Structure 1
C-alpha cells in the first residue's frame, strides 16, 4: 500500500512538472501564430491617379470606416474622371471604337466580385461589388453583366469622350498596335486599404489596353491575377500588360511569397523576376506589382523604371513613390 502511494505521488509530481513546462511552450506557440497588431489605417494605389483616389479612400478610413468602402470610393474617382484615359469614363476604346471596362473587388472575408467586357457604365467597381454581395457568382461578363447592372439601377451612358474618340480615329490611320512602355493604356488603378480594425480590402478597375481586340480581357478583373487579398497575410495588385500577369497568377503569387516570410518589396520583386524568366519579350512590356502586409508595410517592383504608386497613412501624406525596377 505504501509503495503504491509513493508511486502515485511520484507520478503526480512528474505530471505537474511536465505541465508546468508545456504551458509556456503552448503560450509561445500561440504568440508566434497570433495576428500582428493592426498597422492601419493605410491606403496604397497605383500610378499618379492614385493620389486623388487615396484622398477619397482616406476620408472613410480616417473616420474608422471599413476598408471595403474605402477602396470602392477611392477607385471611383479615376473611374469618373474623363481626363484619365486608362480607367472608366474617358478610357480609350478598343480597335472597334468600344470602351469596355473590367473591374474586381475583394474584402477581408475572402469574398470577391468581378465584371469584365462591360460597356456603358461609368463605375464598374460598384457593379463588381454588387456581384459579390447579391449573387452566388464571382464574375459576370458582357451582356450578362450589363443586364445585371441595369437591374441594380446603374445608369447606362456613352463612355466614349470626344478626346478618346479623336485619339481612336487618329490611331485608325495606321491601325498598328505596339505597346509603349509606361505610355500605352494599361495604367490600371489598383488599390489596397487596411482599416484601423486590421481588415484589408482591395479593388482594381481599368479600361484595358487601348486599341485591343474587341472582347479582350486582361488581368484586372481576375481574382488572383490583377488582385488578391488574404487577411492572414496581406494583399497584392498588379498593373501593366495583363497577359503576362495572368500567366503567373501574379497577385496571388505575391501574397503567397509574403506568407512564406518575404517582405512586400521582396515578394513583388520575385514575381517580376518570374515574369522575366518566363516571358522572352519582357523588355517590350511593363508590369508592376504593389503589395501590403497586415502590419501596414508596403512595397512595389516593376520591370522598367517609371511605375509609381501613392501612399497615405498617419505618417505619410499621400506621397507618390517611384517603384524600384529590374531594368
Structure 2
C-alpha cells in the first residue's frame, strides 16, 4: 500500500517549533481553579477517532447520573468486543508470531490506576486493568501473570485471533515488512476521558498495539503518564498513534501539566505534538494524536498529519471533530 504523501510547513513554521522551558511552575504553586461564575459543561465524554458507538455507550452511563470511571470502562469495552475493529480487543491484529496481545489502562478521579500489558486470551483488558487497580496493591501486571490474574477474577479464555486478522497476517508474512501506515487502522488506539455530573474525571485506554509488532512490544497505551493521565484538579489527556514517541515525552502527563500552568486543552495538545516533532526533525512519517479535557468541560485535540478525529458527546450533541494538524495534506 503506497503511503500518503504529505508536505511540510514552511521553513519559518518549522523554526517556530522550539518550545519554551519544561514545566516551569514553581513547587507548591497553586494550579488554576474553576471560577464559581463559570458554568462547567458536564457531563461530557471524549474519545480518540470516530468511535461513535463507544462514546454513545459512555454517554448512556453519564446522562443517567453514572460516574466517569464506569463510563470510560463501558465505553471502550464496546470496541474491545467488536471483531471488525482490528486495533482493539477481539479481532486485533497479531504480533509477528501470530499472537494477539492486548494492552490497557484505567485511571480514576483519585489518581488510582491499573494496567495490563501484553496479555493474551482475554477479551476485555480494560476491565482486568480495573481489577488490578481495585483488587491488588499493584499498578501493572504483564503477560502470563496478567492472564492468570484475569482467570482468577472470573474472566473467560477467548480466542482473540479472528479469521480475517489471521488471513491478513499470513499475507503479511510473505514479505514481513514492518511499516506503520498513517491513519490506517494498524495502530488506532481508543483512548477515552469522561467528566461526570459531579465534576469528576476518569480515563481509559485500550489497544492491540501495532500490527505485526515484535513479540513482547508494548507501546504507550497502558503506560500511566504516557498513553493516559488524569489529575482531577486539572483535567486529563490520552494519546493514539506511534506509542514509542509518546513514551519519550511522557505525552499525556505533559499535556495535563501544561493545562495546570493555564493552557487550554487545545493549546496543551498542540504543544504536546510540537515536543514530539522537535525530537524528530528529520522523521515525520508517523502519526500521533492527542485529546484532552479540563474541569470546565473544555476539550482539545491535535495531531501530526491530517486524518485524525475525535468524538465528543454532551448535552450539546454527539459530534465527530476533525483534528487540527501540524502538517498539511
TM-score strictly above 0.5: yes
Contact 1:228–1:255 (Cα < 8 Å) also in 2:
yes
Q: 2:40 and 2:118 mapped to 1: Cα distance?
A: 37
Aligned to 2:64: 63
Aligned to 1:270: 271
Q: Provide the secondary structure at the position in 1 that maps to 2:78.
A: helix
Q: Deviations over 1:157-190 (max 9, x none)?
A: 1100000001100100100001111115110000
Q: 2:96 and 2:82 mapped to 1: Cα distance?
A: 22
Q: 1:248 and 1:34 mapped to 2: Cα distance?
A: 28
Residue 71 to residue 175, structure 1, CA distance change in 2 (3 Å): same
Give the deviation of 1:255 after TM superposition: 0.3
Give the deviation of 1:279 after TM superposition: 1.8
Q: 2:209 and 2:175 mapped to 1: Cα distance?
A: 20
Aligned to 1:78: 79
Aligned to 1:174: 175
Q: 1:101 and 1:281 mapped to 2: Cα distance?
A: 31
Q: Provide the secondary structure at the position in 2 that maps to 1:269.
A: helix
From 40, 43, 57, the equivalent of 2:42 is 40
Aligned to 2:10: none
Q: 1:93 and 1:207 mapped to 2: Cα distance?
A: 8
Q: Deviations over 1:51-95 (max 9, x none)?
A: 100111111100000100000000000000000010000100011
Aligned to 2:292: 291
1:322 equivalenced with 2:325 (yes/no) = no
Q: 2:66 and 2:274 mapped to 1: Cα distance?
A: 36
Q: Structure 2 unaligned segments of length 5 or more: list them.
A: 1-29
Give the deviation of 1:40 after TM superposition: 1.1
Give the deviation of 1:217 after TM superposition: 0.2
Q: 1:285 and 1:144 mapped to 2: Cα distance?
A: 32
Give the alignment of 1:105-144 within 5 angstroms.
105-144=106-145
Q: 1:63 and 1:238 mapped to 2: Cα distance?
A: 27
Q: Provide the secondary structure at the position in 2 that maps to 1:116.
A: strand
Q: How many residues align?
A: 295
Q: Deviations over 1:90-114 (max 9, x none)?
A: 1000110000000000000000000
Aligned to 1:10: none
Residue 290 to residue 97, structure 1, CA distance change in 2 (3 Å): same
Q: 1:33 and 1:267 mapped to 2: Cα distance?
A: 17
Aligned to 2:192: 191
Contact 2:117–2:142 (Cα < 8 Å) also in 1:
yes
Higher helix fraction (1 or 2): 1
Residue 52 to residue 33, structure 1, CA distance change in 2 (3 Å): closer
Q: Deviations over 1:240-283 (max 9, x none)?
A: 00000000000000000000000000000001000000124541
Q: 1:184 and 1:96 mapped to 2: Cα distance?
A: 19
Contact 2:34–2:295 (Cα < 8 Å) also in 1:
no
Aligned to 1:230: 231
Aligned to 2:152: 151
Residue 267 to residue 160, structure 1, CA distance change in 2 (3 Å): same
Aligned-pair RMSD on alpha carbons? Answer: 1.3
Q: 1:230 and 1:281 mapped to 2: Cα distance?
A: 34
Q: Provide the secondary structure at the position in 2 that maps to 1:59.
A: helix
Give the deviation of 1:38 after TM superposition: 4.2
Contact 2:101–2:118 (Cα < 8 Å) also in 1:
yes
Q: Provide the secondary structure at the position in 2 that maps to 1:167.
A: helix
